[in-house]
Structure 1
Amino acid sequence: MTPELEFHIPADDVPERVTLFADVILPLPLPKLFTYRIPLEMSDDVLVGARVLVQFGTKKVLSCVVARVHEQAPTDYQAKYILEVIDEKPVVTGPQLKLFSWIAEYYMCTLGEVINAALPAALKLSSESKIQLHPQFSEETNEWPLTAHEEKILFALRQKPHLTFTEAGQLLQLTSFHKIIKSLLLKEVIIIYEEIAEKYAPKVVKKVRLAPAFTTDEATLEELFNQLATKAKQLDVLLKYVQLNPLLQDMALNEHGVEKNLLTSNPHLSLSAINTLIKNGVLEQFDVVVSRFPVAEGRGPYLASELSPDQASARDEVLDHFNSKDTVLLHGITGSGKTEVYIDLIQKAVDAGGQVLYLLPEIALTAQIVTRLKRVFQDRLGVYHSKFSDNERVEVWNGILSGRFQVIVGVRSSVFLPFHSLSLLVVDEEHEPSYKQHEPAPRYNAREVALMMAHFHGAKTLLGSATPSVETYYHCQTGRWGLVNLHVRYGEAVLPEIELVDIRRESLRKNMLSHFSQKLVHDMEDTLHRKEQVILFQNRRGYSPFIDCNDCAWIPKCRNCAVSLSYHKFSNELRCHYCGYHERKPNECPACGSTMLKTVGFGTEKIEDELKLLLPEARIQRMDLDTTKRKNSHQQIIEDFEQQRTNILVGTQMVTKGLDFEHVSLVGILSADSIIHFPDYRAHERAYQLFVQVSGRAGRKGKPGKVIIQTANPNQTIFERVIENNYLGLYEQEIAERQKFRYPPFVRIIKITVKHPEAKPCEAAAIALAKDLTDRLGRTGILGPEPPHIFKIRNLFLQEVHVKLDRDGGRLRFSKNQIQEAVFHLLQSKDFKNLRVAIDVDPA
C-alpha cells in the first residue's frame, strides 16, 4: 500500500545548518517514496510541491515532486543528492498532494502512477545517461589495451556522437554491461553526461518596429518616407506598418511594434523588402512571449441570464442544503435549465473570491458550455482537456496557480489541477460512465475524486443530471446528500412526444427503407420541410460492425484481439476498435476466393451514407470518434449544427450528452435493443439514461419535439419508463434488485484482470489468485475467475476475478491490503512469467 504522507516544511528558526532530506514522488509505478539528500546550498530552495531533478538508478535522471522535507536519513540505503531544483515555487499544492495520496490508496495504484497522470507531459522531465568519446582521447597515445566489447563501443562512437545506456546494452547484447562502461571511464576513453531540457516552451511571437532613430519626431519619419520614395516595395511595407501602428497619433506606440506575420502574410507586400528593411536597420525584429490564452481587452459587466422562478427556487434550495451538507444533487429534467443554475452559483462563488471547477463528461460538451460561460466570466475562464497541446495545458496549470483563472471547465483529468482556493465543484451529467478512467492506472472515477477533492479543499460539490446514477440517488434518499428537483422545462418548452416503432413488424410489412422505418423517414422529411433539424443516434461507429463471406461465412478477425474487424467505408479499411489494428478491405474472400463479401449491421458511417441517398437535399454531418480526432473538430461540427449549416446530425453517445440546439424537433434512436441487452448489471440503468438524454435534445426552445425509438420489442418495461419520464420507477426497481443480489451501492466491487500472452498460463494464474483471495477473504465475495466477453486484447489473454466487499471503511482497507498482497505474491511466482495484473476499483 502507498504510505500515508505527511506534508510539512521544516521550521525556519533552526539554530544551525542541519542535513535535510526530501521524500520525492517519482513518475514511475513504484510502491514507495524515495529519499534524497538535499545539498546544503539548496536547503532553502527545496519546497514541498516543487519539482527537483534526481538520479534514479544508474541510467536515468528524472524530475519528481517533493512530498516531504525532513531530517531522517534512510536506514536501508545511502541517499543520493538532489541534482537540481527546477521550481522556485511549488507547482503542486498541499491539497493536491493529499488528494493524490488518497487516489493511490483508494484505487490501489502507486503515487508515481498518479503523479504521472496528473502532471502535463511538458512538466515531466526525464533523461537517460549518454556516453560520448572523451575529448582528449587518442588511439595513438592511449596506454590501455581495449577488450573486444570496449572496441565495439569505441567503433560505434566514431559513427555517431553519443550512445544512450540502452543503446550500449543492445549493441553489446549483454544484460550486465556496466563494468565495461566503468572500465572505459577509468581508461578515459569516454565521458558520461546527462541532457535534460525543460519541455514546456512559452509561445513566442516575432515582432518588428521602426528603429528608434526614425521615431524621434514627425519630421524624422517624413524624411524616411522621402528616402524610400524610389523604392516602391519598401515604401509599401512602411506604409502598412504605419497603418497597423498609428505612429502619427502617438510615437510611443512604436515600442510595441506589430506582429511580423501581419506583414509577411500580406500578399501585397514583398518578403524580401521586409527583410531588406530589417537588414538596413530601418526595422528591427524582436521576440515577445505571449499567452496562448489572450486576455480580453478590459472586463465588461457580467452577463448572466436571469433565472426563471423555478430555477431561482432550485438555486435557493441548493444554497440551503449547502448550509448543512457538502454535496447536493440537482435532479433536473432535460431542458430545465440546470446550466443557468450552475452559472448563477458559480458567479456567487467567484464574487466571494473562490475558484470553481466545472466538470463535463465529454470534450464535445465544452464548446457550447465555454461559449456560454465566456459571456459571463470572460478571461477568468480556463479550459482543460486532452485536445489541448502540452504547452496549452501547462499555461492553464500555471494560470490556476497564479490566480488568473477562477473558473475551469474541463473533462475528468481536470481533477488533478492545482487549485488553491477551490470553493465549488460542479459535476454535470454526473451519471456518465465517461468520468471513469479505464487504462492506464490510476483507474479513477472523476466524480468520486471530485467529492474527495472538495473535502480536502473545504469546498461544496453540486452534482447535476436528468438521469442520476442509482448510487447517487441512493445517497440522497438516505439523507447523506441533499436533493433538489427541477422538473419543469425552461420557458415554453415541453417534454417531447415519444413514439415506439416495431421494426420487426415493419420489416414483415415491407415498410423498412434499409435501416429506417417509413415513419422515421416521413417525419425527417416533414421536419426538414419546416426548416428544423434532426439528430439520429446509433451507438456504434464505422460503416458496419463486420463483413462476412456469403459462401463460406468467413469473418475477418483482429490479429491482436478476440473481436471481428469493423468496416470503415471512407478509408476502405477494416479496423479493430480495441487495439487500432487496420488492414485494407479484401476484394475476395481469403478463405474460399469468393467475391460475395457483404456488410453486416450498421454504424454511424453507414447511416450517413444511406441518408444521403434517402434525403439527397439534406446537409448531413456525423459526430463520432472518427470525425472528432482533430483539435477543434468537435467545436466545428457543433457550430455548423447551431448555425443550421447542417440539417441532420448523426452520432454516437457524443450527441446524447447535454447539447442544447434551438432548432432540433426530431430525434431518432435507431437500434435501441442493442443497448438494453448487454451483459452488465447496469444495462437497464444505462439504457434508460441514454434514451432519456438523447430524447432530451428535442423540443428545447418552445418548439414541439418528437422522439422515435426503433425496437424489435416495444413491450419492454424500460420503454414505458422512458415515455413516462419515470426515473423514480426505474430507481425503485434497480435498488431492490441490487440489494437482493449484493451490488453497488450496497457493496463495493473490485475487478482484478489477469493478462498473459498465452491462454493456459493466464487461466492457471487467475485460478491461483482466486484461491489465494478465498483463503484470505472467504468464498462469499469472490466471483470467478472467468474470461470476459472479449477474452483477448492486444495479444494478451484475459481472465477476471471480481471481489465484492462490504462498505465498512475499516474492513475495506484491510481487504484491499489482502488483495494487494495476493497480487504481489502472484506476480512474484516463478510459475507465471510475463504476467500482468490490473486492479480496477469500482469498475464502470
Structure 2
Amino acid sequence: MSKIIAKVIVDNRASKTDKPYTYAVKKDMEEDLKQGMRVLVPFGMGNRFIKGIVIETERYSGDIFKLKYIEELLDDRPIISEEILELGLWMREKYLSSYLDALHAVMPPGDIKEITTYIYMKNRPSSETYSLSHIQKNIINLLNKNEKISFKELKEKIKDNNIRKHIKKLEEIGILETDLEVGTKVGKRYEKYIDLKDNNIKLEELISEIDNRAFKQKEIIEYLYMHGETPLKKLLKEVNTSHGVIKSLEKKNRIAIIEREVLRNPIPKGILNYEKHRLTEKQQYCLDEILNCIKENKENKFLIHGVTGSGKTEIYLQLIEKLIEKGKEAIVLVPEISLTPQTVERFVGRFGQNVAVLHSRLSAGERFDEWRRIKRGEVKIVVGARSAVFAPFNNLGIIIIDEEHENSYKSSMNPKYNAIEVAEKRCELEGAALVLGTATPSIETYYRAKNGEIKLLTLLDRINNKKLPIMNIVDMRDELNSGNKSILSTDLYNAIEENLKDKKQTILFLNRRGYSTFISCRKCGYIAKCKNCDISLTYHFSDNKLKCHYCGMIDTPPRICPKCGSKYIKYFGSGTQRVEDLIKKLFPQAKVARMDVDTTSRKGSHEKILQNVKNGNIDILIGTQMITKGLDFPLVTLVGIIAADTSLNLPDFRSSERTFQLLTQVGGRAGRGDFEGQVIVQTYNPKHFSIQMAKEHNYTQFYNKEILLRREFKYPPYMEIISLVIYGRDKGKVSEVSKEVYGKIILELRKNKLEKLEKDIFGPNPAPLEKLKNNHRWQIIFKSDKGDSSMLKDIINRVCIYNSQSKKYKGIKFSIDVNPNSIL
C-alpha cells in the first residue's frame, strides 16, 4: 500500500544541508498536507525539532521504515502558492543560489520561523441558520473569549485530527477568517476606539445615573449615543476632554475601550484624480493589439518601444483598467525609488485605494501591512521596485515593467535574480501577460523582439506631436584648446544663464556609476583599451597598472598620450558635490539642489526634492542616475550632461549601450511641457557611435551597430556570462583557493567532454575592486552559449556551493552572478 512522503527544505543555513530531505507523512496529516506549508520535523542525529517548508509531496509504494515522520503541520493552508513556490525553485537553479535564499525571496516578508496563522471571528453565528458540530461550537466558544487565536494554540486546546476541516467549514459559511502574520520588529498597529457599553439603553437613562457635576462625562455619553463608536483621539478633540474622564466612565462600566487594527498607509494623502486621457491613434493601436493577443491567446509578451514622452504610462493605466474589469490583478515594476512617488501618484490618482506599494524605502511596519492587504485581496494593483514581482496575488493578469533597460532590475543580493526574467517565468506559470516599456530597450530584449520571441510595438512620436529635444554635442577637447579648463563648457554656461533669465528650469547630470577609473587624454579623447576585448582598461592605483578585467591583460599607463603626444593624460572623474559648489559660485542667484545617494538617504527626501522641482522652487537640479528617467517636469527646458565619457569608458561590454540609454533618457527630461527643450552633451569623444546615435534619437541604427560588436566579441545575447568572485580576509588563501577552484572546474569540464568551453574562461585574476570591506577579491569570468550553460552551472555549483563549508575553504566565500550588470 502506497504512502505519502514529503520533500522538505529545513531552516538551516549550512551548505551541506542545502537539499530536500524526505519525510514520511502520518496518516491523519495526509489529506491536509500541501506544498508551500511549513512543518516541524526531527532533524539530525539528535532529532532536534526544526522548521521547514514542504516543496513536494508524492505517493510512494516503497519501504518507508527508515524515514522520519513530520511531527506537526504549522499552517492550516500553504503560506505561498504552488506557482510562487515553483518560481522560487526555478530561481535557485537559474541563479545558482541556495534553496533557502531562493525561497526567502518569494515568501512573506520576515523570517520563516516567525510566520503565524491566526483564526479570527468574522461574523457571530445564528443558531437558527447553521447546524454546527460539537467541535465547531467549541472553536466558536474559544473565539468568543479571544479576539484571535493562533492555529497552534487552537490545535492544543481542541484535540481533533480533523481541525482543519472544521476551520474550513466555518470559513465557508462566513463565521471565521484566517490570516497570516509575519514576525517583524514592528507588529500590527492598533488604535483605541470608544463605544457605549450597552447601546440598547435610552439616553435619558444613561445620563440620569451620572452625577450632575460630571458634565464632561454626560457630554461624552451624548456624543457616543449620537455618533456611535469613535476613535479615542477624535473623541478627546471633539468633546474637548481628557483621558481621566474616559477612565472614569470605563470604571463605571458605561463605556468600552476597544483596540482596533489600523493599517499603516505609505501612500501620501491628498493625491489628486489623474484624469483618463484620450489615446492617440498609435497608443490605441498598442492597447488594442495587446488586449486582442491576450484574448486570443496569441502572444503574452510585449515590448512597447516608445520615445520619451510618447505616453506609455497612459497605455499601462488603460490596459490595467480593462484587465481589472475581468477580475484580474496587476503588478507594475518601476526601476528606482525616485520614480515611485510619481508613478504612485498616477496610479492612485486613477485607481484610488485599489493600489498598494512595495519598495525598500517602506518601514518594516508599512511593508508588513501592504503585503497583508495584497494577500487578503484588498487591492488589485501593486506598484513597486524589483521585489514587488513576488506580490502574493492569486489571479494575476499582467506584469508591466517600465524602463525595462534599467540595471536596478538585477538584484545584487542572493539570489542574484533579474526581475524581468523572473516576471517572464511568473507570467508563464500563472498565464499572465508581460509588458515591457522603454525608450531605449536593452540589446538583449530588442534582439528577442526582432527574432519574434516578444511582440514589438513602437511609438515614434511624443504626445501632441511635441518635438524631441535638440541635442548639442560639445567637444571638450576644443574647450581645453581655447583655454577653458572648467567642468562647464562655454555653451552650457551660456545656456544655463539664458534659462535662468527665462525663468525655466535646468537639470545637470553627472554619471558616477561604479568605482572604476579609466585613463583618458583630455586633448584628443584617446582611451586606453584592451586589444582582445574592446573594453577600457582599469587603472589600479596600488601598483600603477592598467588591467583588463575580462581577459587579464596588464599594461603600464602611458605618461604622454600615444595618439597625440599630449601630457593631458590621466585618470578621469568628478563628483556631484564639486559640480554643486561650482554652480552655486557661478550662479549665486539660482536656487540649486542636489539629488544623489548622499542627499536622499533620509525617508521622504526623494519626494521632497521632486516636489520642490515640480512646484518651481528649484532652478537647477544636479543629480546622478536617479534623475535620468521617468520624471516629468514641464518647466525643465535645458538638460546638461557634464561628462558623457564616464559611462562610455567603464570596463564593461555594456558601456556603449549604457551611454546611449543615459543620453536618451536624461535628454528626454527636457521639453516635456509647452516649451521646446535642448540637451547639451559634454564629451572628449564626440564621434563615438553611441553619442552620435543618441543625438539623432536613432535607436535602430545604434542597435544595428552594437549587435555586430556583441557577436564579434561573444557577449550577450549571443553568449551567457557568469562571474565567480572568491573573497576572504587572507590575501594568500584567496589567491590559492581561486587557482584551486579554477583547476577543479577545468577537470570537471574535461570529464564532461566540454573542453571547448576552456577558451572562454578568463582568470583567475584579482577582481577590478581588489579589496572591499577588508576582503581580498579574485574573479573568474565564464562565457558559454545557452546550450552549454546549464552544464557549466551544474559544475560551478558542485565545485563551489557544495564545497563552500569544507575545512579547506574556511574563511573563503563565493559570490556567483549569472549575466551580471557589471563585473566590478
Normalization by structure 2: what TM-score?
0.76
The yes-or-no answer on 1:840 pairing with 2:822 is no
Report the residue type matching 1:790 in the other structure.
L
Residue 263 of structure 1: aligned partner: 236
What is the aligned counterpart of 2:19 among 5, 29, 32?
32
* In structure 2, distance between residues paired with 1:737 and 1:70: 50
| 1:749-786 superposed Cα distances (whole Å, 9 cap, x missing partner) | 11111123223322232223223333313223322222
Report the residue type matching 1:764 in the other structure.
E
Residue 202 of structure 1: aligned partner: 188
Tell me the CA shift for residue 337 of structure 1: 0.7
For the residue of structure 2 that corresponds to 1:789, the secondary structure is strand
CA 1:227–1:817 in structure 2 vs 1: closer, same or farther (change >3 Å)? same
The yes-or-no answer on 1:466 pairing with 2:452 is no
For the residue of structure 2 that corresponds to 1:364, the secondary structure is coil
What is the aligned counterpart of 2:454 among 468, 481, 493?
481
Larger displacement relative to structure 2 (399-408 or 355-364): 399-408
Report the residue type matching 1:112 in the other structure.
L
| 1:125-150 superposed Cα distances (whole Å, 9 cap, x missing partner) | 269xxxxxxxxxxxxxxxxxxxxxxx
Tell me the CA shift for residue 436 of structure 1: 0.6
* In structure 2, distance between residues paired with 1:622 and 1:755: 35
* In structure 2, distance between residues paired with 1:774 and 1:509: 56
Tell me the CA shift for residue 799 of structure 1: 1.5
Contact 1:321 1:328 in 2 (8 A): no
CA 1:117–1:544 in structure 2 vs 1: closer, same or farther (change >3 Å)? closer
The yes-or-no answer on 1:345 pairing with 2:319 is yes
Tell me the CA shift for residue 734 of structure 1: 1.1
CA 1:60–1:386 in structure 2 vs 1: closer, same or farther (change >3 Å)? farther
The yes-or-no answer on 1:664 pairing with 2:649 is no
For the residue of structure 1 that corresponds to 2:441, the secondary structure is coil
What is the aligned counterpart of 2:610 among 638, 662, 669?
638
* In structure 1, distance between residues paired with 2:245 and 2:268: 34
For the residue of structure 2 that corresponds to 1:484, the secondary structure is strand
Aligned pairs for 1:606-617 (under 5 A) are 606-617=578-589
Tell me the CA shift for residue 625 of structure 1: 1.9
What is the aligned counterpart of 1:675 among 632, 647, 660?
647
* In structure 1, distance between residues paired with 2:772 and 2:711: 33
Tell me the CA shift for residue 463 of structure 1: 0.9
Aligned pairs for 1:724-743 (under 5 A) are 724-743=696-715
Tell me the CA shift for residue 110 of structure 1: 2.1
* In structure 2, distance between residues paired with 1:786 and 1:682: 21
Report the residue type matching 1:405 in the other structure.
V
| 1:384-439 superposed Cα distances (whole Å, 9 cap, x missing partner) | 11122334333333333332221111111122222221121111111111111122
Larger displacement relative to structure 2 (613-622 or 65-74): 65-74
| 1:476-520 superposed Cα distances (whole Å, 9 cap, x missing partner) | 1112211111010012521111122333433454546x5333432
Using the aligned pairs only, state the percent identity: 34
Residue 23 of structure 1: aligned partner: 8
Tell me the CA shift for residue 661 of structure 1: 1.5
Tell me the CA shift for residue 351 of structure 1: 1.1
* In structure 2, distance between residues paired with 1:652 and 1:333: 21
Residue 673 of structure 2: aligned partner: 701
Residue 425 of structure 1: aligned partner: 399
Residue 523 of structure 1: aligned partner: 495
* In structure 2, distance between residues paired with 1:718 and 1:608: 27
CA 1:223–1:305 in structure 2 vs 1: closer, same or farther (change >3 Å)? farther
Contact 2:469 2:679 in 1 (8 A): yes
Larger displacement relative to structure 2 (282-291 or 491-500): 282-291
Residue 81 of structure 2: aligned partner: 93
The yes-or-no answer on 1:334 pairing with 2:308 is yes
Residue 450 of structure 1: aligned partner: 423
Residue 552 of structure 2: aligned partner: none
* In structure 1, distance between residues paired with 2:226 and 2:41: 48
Residue 110 of structure 1: aligned partner: 98
Report the residue type matching 2:92 in the other structure.
A
Report the residue type matching 1:734 in the other structure.
E
For the residue of structure 1 that corresponds to 2:373, the secondary structure is helix
Tell me the CA shift for residue 284 of structure 1: 4.1
CA 1:761–1:197 in structure 2 vs 1: closer, same or farther (change >3 Å)? closer
For the residue of structure 2 that corresponds to 1:790, the secondary structure is strand
* In structure 1, distance between residues paired with 2:462 and 2:245: 62
Report the residue type matching 1:82 in the other structure.
E
Report the residue type matching 2:820 in the other structure.
P
Residue 158 of structure 1: aligned partner: none
| 1:540-568 superposed Cα distances (whole Å, 9 cap, x missing partner) | 399999xxxxxxxxxxxxxxxx9999xxx
CA 1:370–1:763 in structure 2 vs 1: closer, same or farther (change >3 Å)? same
The yes-or-no answer on 1:532 pairing with 2:532 is no
Residue 227 of structure 2: aligned partner: 253
Residue 56 of structure 2: aligned partner: 68
Tell me the CA shift for residue 320 of structure 1: 4.8
Aligned pairs for 1:778-793 (under 5 A) are 778=755, 779-793=758-772
Residue 203 of structure 2: aligned partner: 217
Tell me the CA shift for residue 529 of structure 1: 2.9
Contact 2:89 2:103 in 1 (8 A): no
Tell me the CA shift for residue 24 of structure 1: 4.0
Contact 1:122 1:390 in 2 (8 A): no
* In structure 2, distance between residues paired with 1:214 and 1:325: 61
Residue 463 of structure 2: aligned partner: 490
Normalization by structure 1: what TM-score?
0.74
| 1:6-56 superposed Cα distances (whole Å, 9 cap, x missing partner) | xxxxxxxx9x9x776563453745431234455566555443223334565
| 1:46-71 superposed Cα distances (whole Å, 9 cap, x missing partner) | 43223334565569865433223345
Residue 814 of structure 1: aligned partner: 791
Residue 377 of structure 2: aligned partner: 403
Contact 2:84 2:106 in 1 (8 A): no
Tell me the CA shift for residue 453 of structure 1: 0.8
Contact 2:266 2:357 in 1 (8 A): no
| 1:183-235 superposed Cα distances (whole Å, 9 cap, x missing partner) | xxxxxxxxxxxxx9786732211223455489732685598695334xxxx57
For the residue of structure 1 that corresponds to 2:276, the secondary structure is coil
Residue 372 of structure 1: aligned partner: 346
What is the aligned counterpart of 1:79 among 68, 74, 79?
68
Contact 2:331 2:391 in 1 (8 A): no
Give the total of aligned pairs.
Answer: 693
Residue 659 of structure 2: aligned partner: 687
Q: Which runs of 5+ in 2 are unaligned?
A: 116-181, 518-538, 543-570
For the residue of structure 1 that corresponds to 2:640, the secondary structure is strand
CA 1:818–1:334 in structure 2 vs 1: closer, same or farther (change >3 Å)? same
CA 1:422–1:517 in structure 2 vs 1: closer, same or farther (change >3 Å)? same
